[in-house]
Amino acid sequence: ANNHAVSSDNLSINFTDDEENVNPAKERSPSELIEASTSTTITTENGTQFKCELLCCTYYGRYVPEKQSDLNYGKVYCYYCRKAHQSGYHPQANKMSDYSFTVRGFNNWKNGLAKFEKHEKSVRHIDCVYLVQQQRKPPVVAPISSAHQHQQAQRRRMLLIQVKLIKFLLRQGLALRGHIEEEGNLIQLLKSKQDNVNELSSWINEGNYLSHDIINEICEIISLTIIRGQGFDSASTMSGHLFSVTARIKNLNSKAYYVHCNAHSLDLALQDLTRESPPMTSTLDITNEIVNFMKKSPKCLHLLDKLTESNYCPNLKLLCPTRWMVRASSMDSLVVNYDFVKISLDEISAEGHLVFCATEEVSCSLQRIDICLQDVLCAIKSLTKYLERIKCVDYFKRFYESILKEAESLTDEPVLPRIRKPPSKFVDTIRAPTVYQNPYEMFQQHYFDVVNKVLYALDFRFQQSVFPLLCKVEKFIIAAANRTKEDDNLNIESIVEFLNDDIDIPHLKCELNLLSDYFAAINWENNSGLKKISKIQTVCDLLNV
């Protein structure tokens, strides 16, 4: 011990930096201090270095000076006891008899090693070492908290997947639940994603967020302020002006413009025709009855298949009222198989595919996902011009002659139906039937009635109140994209109702002149070769490049 004894007179401290406050006990861990005990050079975290020849630097490194003044007076503190005292968890803070290693600082270097050993064997020091080391260990709640956070993140991810599926079902207008809970659309969609998301199985089995109340709440909190359009059929419960779905949504968001489905409008126009035209009604009814009877009778279907086996004829197609694009093909399939159907049924079918072929072509274009209002009105205008063109005697004559030629081998020549007089008691209330001189005159009258009623129905069904505003918006965008000087098309005031609350109108006025240059730059970069933009779809394509 005498070999290591150092008196305060022989104290030698050499600083390489002029730091006022040096606190190794706060800045360095005990392991760093133990490593530093093999050398007399101490380096703190802030870069301060000093050379110390105190006994503590050659012992275990647990006794360190705290300030420059402590170094000047040769004072050191026990790291563990000082740390416990400063942190407030010293076991005997109010009963300490030896303050030198904790409060005042140890500077009595005579028999220093013995005093160090005595202090380290004391119960107070051992307790302080234990408490400081325990404080460095992670708390018990840390693993629990980590697991809880992981569980929260996992459940948040599952809930977001469920919300996305609910939005998809609402967007498609599909039911979320079914007659059997496990067979509902939402549950089945979640199960279909189990292969890609492992946690979904436990999410479905627990069912904590799959209750009816929570699903309904998710549906209700989806914001309606972003809706800019709604499309339904013309039923009063959906599109009525008082208490319908359209009216309720319009009350919540005035910019949710209602547009009647264009394909359904065309279908309703044809339905109006069939209700007003007896020949068209009978044609569809006869076609429907014959095809249904053949398809639902195993005996007739077997006979028909046997007859058409070697002729490669197409199968009969059902005439479904909700499938808008199968009317002409259904009647055509009946005409192609007429000989074989006649053998089985011995009945006559009247053909009427002239109007339906043209309207079904338009119906196909109206159901495209990328169609815009400009294309809709253009298609209806083309259909109207086609119907007006065929509304002439010359066209009917060619059509009638072609039908007679096709029917020569299928049925007898047309004859006038027997005139039925109404009962005498109904003579004043029932209109007398029209008397025709020959079948040609009768079918000519029916032909013009059909065309006129289709034209009226198209004009009635495609005069929606929101169309003028939407047409102005499309013309405005196209005019701005082409830098057109037409005041009528570039008048922002005419479409303020559409832009309000969505677009900063003064800002838009300033940037309108740059829009055409922006599209021209995109056209040049992508070598699109566009000379003039004529459709809204072209604008959308350029913006999505």
Specify whether 534 is located in the same domain as 454.
Answer: no
Specify whether 455 is located in the same domain as 495.
Answer: no
Specify whether 277 is located in the same domain as 403.
Answer: yes
CA 224, 225, 226, 232 torsion-angle sign: positive
Specify whether 346 is located in the same domain as 489.
Answer: no
* Residues β-bridged to residue 477: none
Choose one of 165, 193, 221: the last residue of a domain.
221
Yes or no: say if 411 and 348 are a contact pair by the CB < 8 Å rule: yes
2 pLDDT tier (thresholds 50, 70, 90): very low
Specify whether 38 is located in the same domain as 165.
Answer: no
Domain that includes residue 514, residue range: 467-543
**How many domains, the chain?**
5
| Least confident interval from 60-64, 351-355, 436-440, 520-524 | 351-355
Specify whether 100 is located in the same domain as 161.
Answer: no
Choose one of 436, 461, 486: the last residue of a domain.
461
Query: Is the pLDDT at 53 greater than 60, yes or no?
Result: no
pLDDT computed for residue 341 by the predictor: 67
Q: How many CA atoms lie within 13 A of 278 on its CB side?
A: 5
Residue with the larger pLDDT of the pair 355 and 235: 235
pLDDT computed for residue 237 by the predictor: 81
Query: Is the pLDDT at 156 greater than 80, yes or no?
Result: yes
Specify whether 297 is located in the same domain as 420.
Answer: yes
Choose one of 461, 494, 527: the last residue of a domain.
461
pLDDT computed for residue 18 by the predictor: 34
Specify whether 185 is located in the same domain as 214.
Answer: yes
pLDDT computed for residue 490 by the predictor: 63
pLDDT computed for residue 317 by the predictor: 66
Specify whether 210 is located in the same domain as 100.
Answer: no
Residue with the larger pLDDT of the pair 307 and 217: 217
Yes or no: say if 209 and 201 are a contact pair by the CB < 8 Å rule: no
pLDDT computed for residue 89 by the predictor: 77
Residue with the larger pLDDT of the pair 243 and 138: 243
pLDDT computed for residue 251 by the predictor: 85
Specify whether 453 is located in the same domain as 478.
Answer: no
Q: What is the mean pLDDT of the chain?
A: 72
331-347 confidence digits (pLDDT tens) = 677 676 666 666 665 53
Distance CA 246, CA 238 (A): 6
Q: What is the pTM of this model?
A: 0.39
Mean pLDDT of 311-330: 61
144 pLDDT tier (thresholds 50, 70, 90): confident
Element (H, E) at 295: helix 278-296
Specify whether 49 is located in the same domain as 117.
Answer: yes
15 pLDDT tier (thresholds 50, 70, 90): very low
Specify whether 26 is located in the same domain as 170.
Answer: no
Residue 79: partners with Cβ closer than 8 Å, 6 or more residues away: 25, 30, 33, 62, 63, 64
CA 358, 363, 369, 374 torsion-angle sign: positive
